[in-house]
Amino acid sequence: MIPTKITPTVLAGGSGSRLWPLSNEATPKQFLRLTSDWSMLQQTLMRFDDTARFKAPMVVCSEKYRELVIEQSAEISCSLSDLLLEPMKRDSAAAIAAAALRAATLDADALLLICPSDHLIHDTSRFTKSVDDAAALAARGYIVTFGVAPTHPETGYGYIRCGAKLEASDGLLVDQFVEKPDAPTACGYLASGRHLWNSGMFMARADVLVEELSKLAPDLLAAIRSAINEGEPADDATPGLKLGSDAFKTAPSISFDYAVMEKSKRTAVVRAHFDWCDLGSWDALADVMAPDTAGNICQGAVATVDVQGSYCRSAGPEVAVIGLENVVVIATESGVLVASKNACQDVKKAVAALSRPKGATELEAEHAGRVNVQ
């Protein structure tokens, strides 16, 4: 068992345009009941039910999602220890800096388990085992990521090249964080045996995170420190803080991976022994559901004729799919996605092209490639 209890720190800020049209700016994917009666956020929070091991969770999200987070955590009787509301969209470095600073004021040694809110993990006991492995190293001052053994040459994930084994632990040093590879590179990673998928979850002491941020991203840390000082109560019933907008907006929009992980000398990795899936795209979601005999997954008012290997989902309209293989069809009253399964990573491009104010905020139009809009 680990020395101190762990503070789960859930990042719920993503807008998830790759799961458009179900996911949009008003209701990003972490709040959707995509795979069960519970939303991805709720499934994430429920992973920390073991009060002997975990403190009450902390959540960082946009202030737009305050009600959604409060409602959805209340629905599963989860009391949050802290709710940090961001006044505008920044990337993960700002969110993690805020969480680390808030936790460190209470307890410098606080062990933070930083989790995105849109990952699917079913095996909670194996998850807990890996968390214990990571906690032991985090307590020693490492920033410990969870690496997932690749099952296929995925091009949608970042990878971790593993280094030397760390003494008296189940962890390894991180040799290098590598960006999302192209297909041949991903095949090489798979063959090497030295590469793990970067799950995006990690553990560290609050003081270690603050220290690394002060070295590697001092401006960002200073901005977030001011935003906390200028903050207001998040909610009457929930402990938390609405971060001060004047200071927060000066924080650079940068991911924690870029700002800290790729530069820090204190990174380690433990193997994730649990099932793990980043539900970042419709084909990933299709992969975790049980298909019918034709290899299709159909949800809602859907009829298929001569369709194989496809994911067809309606949140309202009647949908007919005919004579196609390996397609994804997702329909709501206001939006319809029709994509080849292996092109699901391009949903962002199409959403950007539709010039939806909803999904377009986090998109860079210049990356849109071959897009035609009529």
Q: How far is the CB of 316 from its own copies (least distance, A)?
A: 8
| Residue 331 interacts with its own copies (CB under 8 A): yes or no | yes
Among 36, 192, 342, 361, binds its own copies (CB under 8 A): 342
The pairing of beta strand 195-205 with beta strand 111-116: antiparallel
| Using rule CB under 8 A, residue 372 touches its own copies | yes
Binder of its own copies out of 302, 311, 360, 363 (CB under 8 A)? 302
Which DSSP helix (H) or strand (E) runs through 189? helix 183-192
Q: Binding of its own copies at residue 164 (CB under 8 A)?
A: no
Q: Please, what is the angle between helix 218-229 and helix 92-106, to 10°?
A: 60
Contact range with its own copies by CB under 8 A, out of 32-40, 47-55, 75-83, 325-333: 325-333
Task: Fill in the amino acid letter for 156.
Answer: G
Binding to its own copies by residue 343, rule CB under 8 A? yes
- Which of 94, 319, 360, 363 binds its own copies (CB under 8 A)? It is 319
Q: Is 194 helix (H, G, I), strand (E, B) or coil?
A: coil
Nearer to its own copies, 277 or 336 (CB): 336
Closest CB to its own copies among 27 and 340? 340
The conformational region for residue 97 under phi > 0 = left, psi -120 to 50 = alpha, else beta, is: alpha
Q: Which of 1, 168, 237, 305 binds its own copies (CB under 8 A)?
A: 305
Q: Is 156 in the site for its own copies (CB under 8 A)?
A: no
DSSP class of residue 261 equals I
The string of DSSP letters for 13-50 reads ----GGGTTTS-SSS-GGGS-SSSSS-HHHHHHHTT--
Give whichever of 217 and 360 is closer to its own copies, judged by the CB atom: 360
Shortest spacing between CB 343 and its own copies, in angstroms = 3
- Which listed residue (88, 169, 324, 362) binds its own copies by CB under 8 A? 324
Q: Which of 225, 212, 13 is nearest to 105 (CA)?
A: 225
351 binds its own copies (CB under 8 A): yes
Interaction between residue 3 and its own copies (CB under 8 A) = no
Work out whether 363 is an interface residue with its own copies (CB under 8 A).
no
CA 333 to chain centre: 27
Longest dimension (CA), the chain: 61
Q: In sequence order, what DSSP letters do the residues of 208-238 get, joined into one string?
A: HHHHHHHHH-HHHHHHHHHHHHT-EES-SSS
For position 357 contacting its own copies by CB under 8 A, the verdict is no
Cβ 342 to its own copies, closest distance in Å? 7
**By CB under 8 A, residue 281 contacts its own copies:** no
State yes or no: residue 20 binds its own copies (CB under 8 A). yes
Burial 151-187 (b: 16+ CB within 10 A, else e): eebbebbbbbbbeeebeebbbbebeebeeebeeebbe
Q: Which listed residue (77, 151, 322, 366) binds its own copies by CB under 8 A?
A: 322
**Site stretch for its own copies (CB under 8 A), options 65-73, 143-151, 219-227, 311-319:** 311-319
Q: Binding segment for its own copies among 77-85, 95-103, 137-145, 352-360 (CB under 8 A)?
A: 352-360
- DSSP states along 266-317: -EEEEE--S--EE--SHHHHHHTS---TTS-EEESSEEEES-BS-EEEESSS
Roughly how many angstroms between the first and final C-alpha of the chain, as a whole number?
60
In the complex, what is the shortest distance from the CB of residue 328 to its own copies, in angstroms, rounded to a whole number?
A: 9
Among 260, 339, 360, 363, binds its own copies (CB under 8 A): 339
370 binds its own copies (CB under 8 A): yes
Q: What is the DSSP string of 89-157?
A: ---HHHHHHHHHHHHHHH-TT-EEEEEESSEE---HHHHHHHHHHHHHHHHTT-EEEEEE--SS--SSS
Between 124 and 332, name the residue whose CB sits nearer to its own copies. Answer: 332
**Residue 353 near its own copies by CB under 8 A:** yes
Q: Note the residues at the interface with its own copies (CB under 8 A).
A: 20-21, 292, 294, 296, 298-307, 314, 316-324, 327, 329, 331-340, 342-344, 346-347, 349-351, 353-354, 356, 368-374
